[in-house]
């Protein structure tokens, strides 16, 4: 009898248990009256190697160009984004405090302590219209505003209803100047939903670069790819963790020499929420 009762209780618990979540509505947006502490980190290494005749390479050396030319960069920024109370059903105030900037050489860029003022439309990304920081002129303020807006633009995604195993893509166009011409590039980023656990949606990220030279002959070649991970907080409609590593290679034959470029970069962003 006890075994029968235990079996009945087990069936009751299973029938009342919440079924595992297998789909989400992916929509990134900030919420009113919330504080977001965000850290972004970027690393990059670019190596350019030149090959050609001794005369052409000597000319490059006379121009002060090292072979290979190696550039390394590393920056980290810490922000605090605070949203205010929604009163009109349309928007709510939004401020960002730039807490700290760290470069690999230890130098400061003078932007620590900047406060960005703006608003956030319900269901949309923040828009900033002013920045306060002592000692900045209007041109410097405009530049800081643009950098902040570009940073937040990376959080703009289409609204998608996804099941586990499904994916969506985002395309981002770029233009790179090269030897008096340009290279038109489209970066396609694919996001695949792989798991939903405890209201957290986990994505695999893959990235592809498509390059089309403009006014360049067929001697140009370029490829690029990337891989990463993303964690989306379903309840709070925000990306908590985003990381991606990318590689890009370019090759161009000129009249007197040939150069090969290889760029490796990494991007990490974390967000933590508090009321």
Q: How confident is the model at residue 76 (pLDDT cuts 50, 70, 90)?
A: very high
**How far is Cα of residue 127 from the mean position of the Cα atoms in its chain?**
18
Q: 3-state DSSP call for residue 17?
A: coil
pLDDT band at 180 (very low <50, low <70, confident <90, very high): low
Q: pLDDT of 47-66, one tens digit each? A: 999 998 888 888 888 889 89
Residue 233 exposure: Cα atoms within 13 Å on the Cβ side? 15
- For residues 72 and 47, the answer to whether their CB atoms sit within 8 Å is no
Please, what is the average pLDDT of the chain?
86
Distance of CA 228 to the CA centre of its chain: 11
Query: What's the pLDDT at 214?
Result: 64
pLDDT value of residue 18:
52
Domain ranges for the chain: 20-274
Please tell me the distance from the alpha carbon of residue 119 to that of residue 122, in angstroms, as a whole number.
10
Most confident residue range from 101-110, 147-156, 216-225, 237-246: 237-246
pLDDT for residue 5: 47
In the predicted structure, residue 16 carries a pLDDT above the cut 80:
no
More confident call, 141 vs 80: 80
CB atoms within 10 A of CB 41: 16
10-14, 88-92, 155-159, 248-252: range with lowest mean pLDDT:
10-14
Phi, psi dihedral angles at 234 (to 5 degrees): -65, -45
**Residue 128 above 70 pLDDT?**
yes
Q: Are 128 and 96 in contact (CB under 8 A)?
A: yes
Q: Rounded to 5 degrees, what are φ and ψ at 8? A: -65, -45
Give yes or no for a contact between 183 and 211, defined as CB atoms under 8 angstroms apart: yes
User: From CA 236, how far away is CA 129, in angstroms rounded?
Assistant: 25
Model-level pTM? Answer: 0.85
Nearest Cα residue to 174 out of 222, 139, 136, 129: 222
3-state DSSP percent of the chain in helix, strand and coil, to 5: 15, 60, 30
Task: Provide the CATH topology of domain 20-274.
Answer: Lipovitellin-phosvitin complex; beta-sheet shell regions (2.30.230)
């Amino acid at each position: 009898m006890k075994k029968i009762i235990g079996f009945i209780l087990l069936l009751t618990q299973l029938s009342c248990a919440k079924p595992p979540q297998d789909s989400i509505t992916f929509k990134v947006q900030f919420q009113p009256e919330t504080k977001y502490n965000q850290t972004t980190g970027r690393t990059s290494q670019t190596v350019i190697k030149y090959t050609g005749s001794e005369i052409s390479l000597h000319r490059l050396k006379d121009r002060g160009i090292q072979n290979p030319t190696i550039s390394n960069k590393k920056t980290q920024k810490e922000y605090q984004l605070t949203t205010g109370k929604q009163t009109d059903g349309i928007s709510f105030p939004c401020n960002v405090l730039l807490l700290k900037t760290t470069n690999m050489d230890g130098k400061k860029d003078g932007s620590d302590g900047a406060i960005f003022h703006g608003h956030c439309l319900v269901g949309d990304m923040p828009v900033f219209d002013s920045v306060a920081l002592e000692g900045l002129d209007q041109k410097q303020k405009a530049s800081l505003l643009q950098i902040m807006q570009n940073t937040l633009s990376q959080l703009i995604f289409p609204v998608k209803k996804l099941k586990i195993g499904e994916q969506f893509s985002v395309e981002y166009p770029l233009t790179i100047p090269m030897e008096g011409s340009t290279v038109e590039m489209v970066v396609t980023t694919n996001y695949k939903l792989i798991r939903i656990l405890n209201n957290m949606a986990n994505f695999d990220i893959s990235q592809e670069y498509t390059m089309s030279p403009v006014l360049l002959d067929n001697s140009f070649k370029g490829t690029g790819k990337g891989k990463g991970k993303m964690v989306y907080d379903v309840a709070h409609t925000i990306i908590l963790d985003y990381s991606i590593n990318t590689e890009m290679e370019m090759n161009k034959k000129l009249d007197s020499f040939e150069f090969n470029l290889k760029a490796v970069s990494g991007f990490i962003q974390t967000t933590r929420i508090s009321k």
